[in-house]
Structures are given as C-alpha cells and as structure tokens.
Homo-oligomer: A and B are copies of this chain.
Amino acid sequence: MAQIDKAERRQQILAAARDVFAKRGYHAAKIDEIVAAAGVARGTFYLYFEDKRGIFEEIVDRAFARLGMAITRVDPAAPVEDQIKDNIRRIVGVLLEDKATTKILLSDAVGLDPGFDRKLLVFYEEVGKLLRESLTDGQALGIVAPGDAQILAVLAMGAMKEILYQVTMRDLALGEEEIVEAIYGFLSRGFLRV
C-alpha cells in the first residue's frame, strides 16, 4: 500500500463513507463496507475517526457548513428578486452538486436519534431565523405579505427541502434553473389565481 498523505487518506475514507451511507442508510452501512470501498483495513478507519457516529457527524457538519456559506442575508433596501433567486440558486447548486451528501442530510440524518434531531433542528432554526428577519424587514416595507414571519419561514424552507429531497431520492429529471424558477415563483406568489 503506497504511503499517502494523511489528509488525503482521511478524505478518501470520508468519501467512501459518504457513498456507503447514502446507498444503505446509516444503520445498514457497516464499517466493513466503508473500509472496503475506501480500499483500507478496518483498523485504519479507527485511526482516523472516533467511530461510525463520528464520521457521520463530520459528513453532516461539513454539509451544513457548505450550505451555511451559500446563504446570504437579503437587503430589503435593494431590489429583492435577484437576491432571493441568487440565494435559492446557490442552495440548490450546493445540494445538487453532491447528491449523495444531500440524501444523507435530508434522509439518513433525519430521526437518527434525539441527539442528531436536535442538531438538525438547530441548523434549521438558524437558517429560519435569518429568513424570518428578512421577511420581517420586508413586511415593514410592505413588500412581504403580513402574517407570522416564523411560520412563513418554516413553510418556505419546507418547500425547498421537499423538492430537493424528491429530486435526490427519485431521479426527477429537472434542470437546476427550472427548479430555481419554480421555487421562486411558488414562494413569492403561491399558485392560486382566483
């Protein structure tokens, strides 16, 4: 076995774990399958990661970090349409770029155990807070419909999560820009025209 840079080996195991978790789900993913996929022995895994839970958590944390980077605050003083669309575009981009990780985030990490549930809720709460504040600003300017900004934020996040969940789990053949436009249109105007 060729000597490999430590960081690179870590990366290699991380990528294998991501693929196996995405394919099997957290519990059905066995360490033996991960190390086989990484082309490494069982013991090596434990040199680089605490345990199964640890590596899974790292995958999720990195994904959240990437997602967090993609989201920026909307300035309600400037025209909002492009700002909103850009946010949606970046989020969709990050999630479709690595579908294995997205499946892990939206499916495997859900309902793992109470501890992990809390981690997810905290992340969504942070994103929700940002969104809520933007909505509240918008309401003050009259460009966002009145109503509980907290609920609106949750509904908006849910819509996005679901379309990306469906695109990831079934292979809905949708282009990125098509998804972005659909989300934007839905969030901004809903669908009734009575």
Contact = CB atoms under 8 A, between A and B. Distances in A.
Give me the 9 closest cross-chain CB pairs, A-B, nearest first. Answer: A158-B162, A188-B192, A107-B111, A190-B190, A110-B110, A155-B159, A108-B111, A189-B190, A151-B182
Interface string A73-89: 00000001100000000
A186 interface: yes
- Copies of this chain, how many? 2
A174 B168 CA distance: 31
Interface SS of chain A: helix, strand, loop or mixed?
A: helix
Interface of A: 24-28, 80-81, 107-114, 117, 121, 124-125, 135, 142-145, 147-148, 150-152, 154-163, 165-166, 169-170, 172, 174, 178-179, 182-183, 185-194
B169 A183 contact: no
Nearest to A191: B145
